[in-house]
Amino acid sequence: MPITRSPHRSYERRTKRLPWRDVVPWILLLLAIAVSILPFYWVLRTSLSMNASLAANASSLLPVDLNFGAFARVFGLQSTQDAIAQGGSGADINFWVYLRNSVIFASLSTAGAVFFSAMAAYAFARLRWKGRNVVFGAFLATMMVPPIFTALPNFLLIKDLGLLNTMLGMVLPFIFMTPFAVFFLRQFFMNMSREVEEAAMLDGAKHLRIFFQIILPNAAAPIATLVLLTFIQQWNEYFWPLLVGNSDDVRVLTVGLGVFKSQSPQGAPDWSGLMAATLVSALPVLTLFMIFGKKIVNSIGFSGVK
């Protein structure tokens, strides 16, 4: 007699064979997304909570006594009495002044760093001169020097120049080239064809004209990516602006948040106000990254940075 297979057994075998190779990566991806998003959600949850009720409901996953008073304190729309009544510390933050200073500081630092880095990258990638690779290797070696080692010499230099508590003094150490920016653009410049450049030289064009009229227009995508990466880095800069800029006229948002936290007349920080200020200050950078994030990844891959 022919052997017949039970349909129930074949069904059990199919159900036992789960595609773990496909399921496990998705589980790990979801966990990574949850871990990445959780801090942002917790900041939002705290900023929408009543500061006076946070201590009693610290483990709540939802906003405690939902209100927008913290954002009103950040934008200067709430009086000191109302802030204290909602559990705030009574401290204030010159948010719009600090926001202006952050935009100026990040923009000037980014413009200078990208421009001079592009010129240095052009010299390392397109010009032929003796000892070029040795100098480039020594230049890249400076990436291993911690920034804290250069903070004191830079501070003494800025102090001797009389540039403390000035925007120029804050921008000056960042306005010139950086090793990463030079390496990033050099990788792209080295992959560019030399035919157009050689044709321009035959027509009498010098290196400066070639740089501005040929190299920069063809490197618009990686330069835009570098601008965004540098802007984000400078926007988050904290130690140097804290060291040099002690005046409200030049204080940036990152330093202002620390000052706001330390101003606690009632003895407890205004966590709701602090998280609201942190969220608002991070929105410009998050928006830029969400809009141009794909271009950053594509440009990094195209430039050969791994």
Q: Are 265 and 91 in contact (CB under 8 A)?
A: yes
Chain centre distance of CA 155: 24
Domain ranges (residues) in the chain: 25-89+264-306, 109-251
Q: What is the pLDDT of residues 28-69, one digit of tens each?
A: 889 998 898 898 899 999 888 888 777 777 778 888 888 888
- CA separation for the pair 113, 108 (Å, rounded): 8
> According to the 3-state scheme, what is the secondary structure of 95-108?
HHHHHHHHHHHHHH
Give residue-wise pLDDT tens across range 118-154.
Answer: 999 999 988 888 888 899 988 888 888 888 888 999 9
CA dihedral 152, 157, 158, 159 (to 10 degrees): 90
CATH architecture label of 109-251: Orthogonal Bundle (1.10)
CA 162 from centre of chain: 30
> What's the pLDDT band for 13 if we cut at 50, 70, 90?
low
Residue 302: per-residue pLDDT = 53
Instruction: Copy the structure tokens of residue 234.
Output: 């400078």
Q: Which amino acid is at 255?
A: V
240 pLDDT more than 90: yes
Look at residue 89 in the predicted model and tell me its pLDDT.
63
**Helix, strand or coil, per DSSP, at residue 305:** coil
Q: Where residue 112 falls among pLDDT bands split at 50, 70, 90?
A: very high
> Exposed, middle or buried: residue 183 (CB in 10 Å: 0-12, 13-18, 19+)?
buried
Nearest to 91 by CA among 106, 109, 78, 102: 78
266, pLDDT greater than 60: no
- For residues 116 and 178, the answer to whether their CB atoms sit within 8 Å is no
The confidence band for 245, taking pLDDT boundaries of 50, 70 and 90, is: confident
Residues near 105 by Cβ (< 8 Å), separated by ≥ 6? 167, 170, 171, 234, 237, 241, 252
Per-residue model confidence (pLDDT) at position 304: 44
The mean pLDDT of 279-302, rounded to a whole number, is: 75
Q: Looking at this protein, which amino acid is placed at residue 241?
A: P
* Mean per-residue pLDDT, 294-299: 66
Q: Give CA 208 to chain center in angstroms.
A: 31
* Cβ neighbours, 10 Å, residue 284: 17
Give tens-digit pLDDT for 58-100: 778 888 888 888 888 888 777 777 777 766 666 667 888 999 9
Q: What SS3 string covers 30-69?
A: HHHHHHHHHHHHHHHHHHCCCHHHHCCCCCCCCCCCCCCH
Residue 73: per-residue pLDDT = 82
Interval 144-193: pLDDT, tens: 888 888 899 999 999 999 999 999 999 999 998 788 899 989 988 888 88
Kindly state the tokens that stand for 76: 């200067």
What is the total residue count of the chain?
Answer: 306
Res 154: pLDDT: 92
- The pLDDT tens digits of the residues spanning 196-216 come to 888 888 888 888 888 888 888
Q: Residue 268 to residues 139, 193, 199, 261, 271: CA-CA distances in angstroms?
A: 47, 62, 69, 9, 8
Q: If you ran DSSP here, which 8-state letter would residue 268 be given?
A: S
CB 222 within 8 Å of CB 161: no
Cα distance from N-terminal residue to C-terminal residue, the chain: 64
* Per-residue confidence (pLDDT) for residue 81, from 0 to 100: 73
Phi, psi of 192 (to 5 degrees): -80, 145
